[in-house]
Amino acid sequence: MNTSSGTPDLRFIRDEVKALSAYHVQSSKGMIKLDAMENPFVLPEHLQQELGQVLARLEFNRYPGTGIDDLKKQLAQYVDLPVGHDLMLGNGSDELISLLAMSFMAPGAKVLAPEPGFVMYAMSSQLMGLPYIGVPLRDDFELDEAKMIEAIDQHQPRIVYLAYPNNPTANLWDSGTIERIIARVSAYAGVVVMDEAYSPFSGESWLTRMRADPKANGQVILMRTLSKFGLAGARLGYMIAQTPWIEQINKVRPPYNVSVLNAACASFALSHQEEFKAQAERVMAERERIFAVLKDTPGLTPYPSQANMMLVRVELNAKMDSKVSSDLAPHAMAQTVFEGLKARGILVKNVSKMHPTLSGCLRLTVGTPAENDAMLAALTEIATTQAG
């Protein structure tokens, strides 16, 4: 009951909600922002002006209409939508993940994903009251096939998420392992969701296999987003699957979930996809340059990436405070480097405590050449100072 002081009574807030922590976004004011896997390049001025004219003509007083259908047609052409498949739009991938959890929510339903992975897989499942099972990756960040199969056989999850490439490890997993996981899950009518958020920076897509072998991939749902394409500020995700899946999941989609503003920005981007493709190529070139520099920097171990981010393990032989235990030392050193970068105006993501396999790791977003130069200079300086 409420007290005389006016303290609210929160007894009817669900226990699942109370147990969660809100998603935290670091303040990036005045910083070189390399923590959120955004496309670092803005549109050329002439395209900014053209987009402004497009947005100025939008009817904001009306609910989204035929423009959404036009955008779906554009996306279908952009991805070369396979025969027998359809697509559905969402307010970013986050909404699609929530809609999937809602669609499969039933007594006994469970969700499974390898870890470390995208935090929203677990969060959306728990919000819907679905038990979540995390299966650790191997130390080399590859799928542990034996443990995955064992967990799948034991729990028979309705949904298995596989990020391709993975976040935060940025690697593509072995395709043979994925095929066997899909076959195992398909055998009891579960679904495997292939999350291709970082497809603009990867040379592989599971859509190729869905197109070539629809029978083997009948239980596969593929998600993508235009956030990494270059539209992180205009939330637009999309889901591809064989038509019966889309017909059912579309029933739980809120009406007008994609605004006219988001749709217009996405349509404009697809109409100028060569510009965004060129930006992605610049990001990939910068990614390889960063890897080469960090590989030759003592005390820092970068991992190969197929995304617009890179995982770096801090392994400096610095003397730690005597109060810091050996098992906490990697976290303390990662935090030291994180704070050192922040003090120099560079914001990255410290993922060291996210999962045991990430101990001592930072995640770096690939920025512009100038941003990357500043980040590399700062990392080199900090590594040299700490090693000394």
Query: 242-283: per-residue pLDDT in tens?
Result: 999 999 999 999 999 999 999 999 999 999 999 989 999 999
Predicted confidence band of residue 325 (pLDDT cuts 50, 70, 90)? very low
Residues 210, 192 within the same domain: yes
Q: Residue 281 has what pLDDT? A: 95
pLDDT at residue number 233: 75
> Do 85 and 123 fall within a single domain?
yes
Average pLDDT, the chain: 90
pLDDT in tens, 336-346: 999 999 999 99
Please check whether residues 100 and 209 belong to one and the same domain: yes
pTM of the prediction? 0.91
Distance separating alpha carbons of residues 272 and 285, to the nearest angstrom: 21
Angle 130-125-152 from CA coordinates, rounded to 5°: 70
Q: Say what the pLDDT of residue 284 is.
A: 96
Q: Are 15 and 129 in contact (CB under 8 A)?
A: no
Tokens at 150, concatenated: 């064992």
Cα dihedral angle (334, 338, 344, 348), rounded to 10 degrees?
130
Half-sphere exposure of 379 (CA within 13 A, CB side): 28
Q: In terms of domains, do 338 and 290 share one?
A: yes
- Range with the lowest mean pLDDT among 14-18, 102-106, 157-161? 14-18
Q: What is the pLDDT of residues 66-88, one digit of tens each?
A: 889 999 999 999 999 999 999 99
Q: Coil, strand, or helix at residue 231?
A: helix
- What pLDDT is attached to residue 319? 46
Looking at the 3D structure of the chain, how many domains does it have? 2
Do 297 and 362 lie in a common domain?
Answer: yes
Q: Range of 110's domain? A: 62-271
Listed in sequence order, the residues at least 6 apart from 54 whose beta carbon sits closer than 8 Å to its beta carbon are 264, 268
Domain end, chosen from 271, 305, 323, is at: 271
Query: Is 293 inside a domain boundary?
Result: yes
pLDDT tens-digit readout, 104-133 = 988 999 999 999 999 999 999 988 889 999
Q: Within this chain, do residues 168 and 301 fall inside the same structural domain, yes or no?
A: no
